[in-house]
């Protein structure tokens, strides 16, 4: 809801503002439009920590000013590719990886693609959706620099390490995208910008003590998700960090604690007729949604349903931004 402390922008105006900020920070206009496309989609789907606020992070990140080289394939087979992200932000380079994965999957029914030398991929469902809408099943993992403490530890050892799955369906694909940390680093950064408290149990300070202060959490560590079952989040995060080495950090950088991205893409027809799979997925969705509900529950939703509905609504109603963020975006965008 809009308030005196917020500003409402149309999707087009929000996109144009993000493009100006990123272009002014040093990316070409074409590159800025690709990056802004991902950030805008996150904002539309209701993930502000991965939305327009991230254009501020990109503009202020020292890596934005570092030399870049073209995103390129450095090793490949008919069904696989290892991609060097050229030092680009991941919300640009991962679109290249998606294109390579789809090209190989169309030719061979399967693709395994890794990407390294890049950082910050944003909302990973954005890439998974592109692949699933093209008719392919996809599993995507993303490891990063250390922001998260291991179970029982008080210093960072691995990233927030999201895991995403996409399946083709009608009329929309079915997507699931989750981080393996109790909160994303983007949410911590956004809370620090807005001077907001963190939820309890998601972060520790530099001394290893629980904290609600976002600025102190940035000096300390985020915790694995799961609460008293945090060993599950920790285990998933560890394995995704290890997969990041196959994404290229182990091959070319020799750093386990770095950004590494993986896509596993395949045609469902390798296992069963594609139409049959779509029909059975629709049956599963219908069965889940028709489950008797608890008192007070309006509807049972499936993964991605809320995001799709929110995106459609915000395209019509616009995007509401905190006024402080809007003013910072205007300053960085030169207007």
- Give 29-69 pLDDT, tens digit per residue: 999 999 999 999 999 999 998 999 999 999 999 999 999 99
* pTM metric for this prediction: 0.92
Sequence length of the chain is: 335
Please state whether 248 falls in left (phi above 0), alpha (psi between -120 and 50) or beta: left
* Domain ranges, ordered by start, for the chain: 1-66+304-335, 69-182+223-289
Cβ neighbourhood burial of 330 (10 Å; 0-12, 13-18, 19+): middle
Whole-angstrom CA distances from 248 to 68, 87, 116, 161 are: 17, 13, 5, 15
Tell me which CATH code domain 1-66+304-335 carries.
1.10.1530.10
Instruction: Give the model's pLDDT for residue 273.
Output: 97
The total of other beta-carbon atoms located within 10 Å of residue 266's CB is: 18
For residue 258, the model assigns a pLDDT of 84
Angle between helices 53-60 and 185-193 (to 10 degrees): 90
- Two structure tokens written together for 329: 């975006």
Per-residue confidence (pLDDT) for residue 253, from 0 to 100: 66
What percentage of residues in the chain have a pLDDT greater than 70? 97
* CATH of span 69-182+223-289: 3.30.1370.60
Residues 6+ apart with CB under 8 A from 316: none
Q: What is the pLDDT of residue 151?
A: 93
pLDDT under 50 in the chain at which residues? none
pLDDT at 201: 94
pLDDT of residue 261: 96
pLDDT at residue 250 in the model: 73
Query: Which pLDDT tens digit goes with each residue over 21-40?
Result: 999 999 999 999 999 999 99
pLDDT of residue 2: 61
DSSP type of residue 296: T
Could you give the 3-state DSSP secondary structure of residue 214? helix
According to DSSP, residue 224 is labeled: B
């Amino acid at each position: 809801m809009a308030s005196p402390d917020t500003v409402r922008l149309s999707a087009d105006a929000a996109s144009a503002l993000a493009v100006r900020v990123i272009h002014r920070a040093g990316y070409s206009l074409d590159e800025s439009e690709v990056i802004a496309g991902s950030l805008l989609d996150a904002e539309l789907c209701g993930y502000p920590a991965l939305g327009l606020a991230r254009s501020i992070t990109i503009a202020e990140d020292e890596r934005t000013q570092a030399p870049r080289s073209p995103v390129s394939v450095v090793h490949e087979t008919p069904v696989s590719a290892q991609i060097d992200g050229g030092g680009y932000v991941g919300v640009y380079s991962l679109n290249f990886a998606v294109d390579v994965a789809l090209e190989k999957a169309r030719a061979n029914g399967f693709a395994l693609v890794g990407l390294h030398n890049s950082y910050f991929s944003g909302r990973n469902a954005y890439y998974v959706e592109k692949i699933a809408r093209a008719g392919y099943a996809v599993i995507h993992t993303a490891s990063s620099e250390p922001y998260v403490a291991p179970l029982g530890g008080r210093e960072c050892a691995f990233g927030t390490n999201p895991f995403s799955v996409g399946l083709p369906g009608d009329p929309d694909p079915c997507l699931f995208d989750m981080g393996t940390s109790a909160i994303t680093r983007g949410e911590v950064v956004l809370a620090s910008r807005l001077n907001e408290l963190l939820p309890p149990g998601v972060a520790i300070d530099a001394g290893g003590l629980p904290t609600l202060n976002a600025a102190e959490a940035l000096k300390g560590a985020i915790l694995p998700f799961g609460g008293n079952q945090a060993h599950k989040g920790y285990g998933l995060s560890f394995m995704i960090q290890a997969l990041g080495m196959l994404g290229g950090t182990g091959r070319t950088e020799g750093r386990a604690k770095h950004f590494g991205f993986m896509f596993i893409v395949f045609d469902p027809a390798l296992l069963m007729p594609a139409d049959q799979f779509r029909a059975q997925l629709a049956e599963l969705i219908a069965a889940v949604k028709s489950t008797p509900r608890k008192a007070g529950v309006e509807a049972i939703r499936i993964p991605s349903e809320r995001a799709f509905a929110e995106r459609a609504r915000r395209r019509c109603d616009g995007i509401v931004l905190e006024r402080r963020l809007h003013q910072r975006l205007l300053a960085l965008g030169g207007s």
